[in-house]
Amino acid sequence: MTTDPTTPQLMLGHVDIDADHQQFTERLAQLKAASGAAFIQQFGQLTDHLAEHFERENSLMMQSGYPASAEHRGEHNRVLGEMTNFRARVEAGRVRFGRAYALEQLPGWFDLHVSTMDAALVEYLKRSPL
Ligand SMILES: [Fe+2]
Ligand SMILES: [Fe+2]
C-alpha cells in the first residue's frame, strides 16, 4: 500500500474521515519536501492537524457508542504524544529527529491505522448511522 492520496484503499467512504485522511496525506507530502524554517512550521501544523483529526474521530466514536473506542483512542493518544515530543525537538533545532520520524515512521503508521482501526470505525458507522 502507498500513501498516494488517490489510493482507493485509503478512501473509506465517510466524507469527514476521508477528508481528514486526504489532508494528512497532502500535509505529510509537503512536509517531506520542506526544509529549514518551513519544515519546522509544517511539522507543527501537521501535529495540530492530527490533534483535530483524532478529536473528530474520537467524537464520532463517543456519539455512536463504538465498542472499540478505548483501543482506538489510546492509539491516537500514543501517536499524538510522539508527534508532540518530536515537535518540541524540531522547534529546539533538532530537525533531523523530526525528519526521520516523518519519513520513516509516519507513512507506514498512517497506512496501517487507516486500513485497520479507521476502516473498522467507518464500517461500524455505516451500520449504525448517527
Ligand atoms: Fe484517521
Ligand atoms: Fe483513527
Place of cell 472499540: 68
- Could you report the per-residue pLDDT of 38-74, keeping only the tens digit for each? 999 999 999 999 999 999 999 999 999 999 999 999 9
Kindly report the pTM of this predicted structure. 0.91
Q: Identify whether 17 is part of a domain.
A: no
Q: Yes or no: say if 111 and 3 are a contact pair by the CB < 8 Å rule.
A: yes
Question: What CA–CA distance (Å, rounded) separates 15 from 83?
Answer: 25
Ion ligand 1: protein residues whose beta carbon lies under 5 Å:
118
Model confidence at 10, pLDDT cuts 50, 70, 90, reads: confident
Centre of ligand 1 from the C-alpha of residue 56, in Å: 9
Model confidence at 99, pLDDT cuts 50, 70, 90, reads: very high
Starting from the CA of residue 117, give the closest ligand.
2
Cell of 61: 466514536
| Predicted local confidence at residue 1, as pLDDT | 43
Centre of ligand 1 from the C-alpha of residue 97, in Å: 24
| Predicted local confidence at residue 9, as pLDDT | 62
Identify the DSSP state of 126.
H
* Full domain range(s) for residue 31: 22-127
Question: What CA–CA distance (Å, rounded) separates 43 from 39?
Answer: 6
Starting from the CA of residue 73, give the closest ligand.
2
| Predicted local confidence at residue 66, as pLDDT | 97
In 34-130, alpha helices (H):
36-64, 69-91, 95-100, 106-113, 119-127
Identify the DSSP state of 9.
G
Q: Identify whether 78 is part of a domain.
A: yes
Q: Identify whether 6 is part of a domain.
A: no
Model confidence at 112, pLDDT cuts 50, 70, 90, reads: very high
CATH code, domain carrying 93: 1.20.120.50
Nearest to 79 by CA among 54, 43, 42, 60: 54
Centre of ligand 2 from the C-alpha of residue 75, in Å: 8
Starting from the CA of residue 72, give the closest ligand.
2
Q: Identify whether 9 is part of a domain.
A: no
Q: Identify whether 56 is part of a domain.
A: yes
Centre of ligand 2 from the C-alpha of residue 39, in Å: 24
- Exposure class string for 13-23: b at 16+ Cβ within 10 A, else e: ebeebbebbee
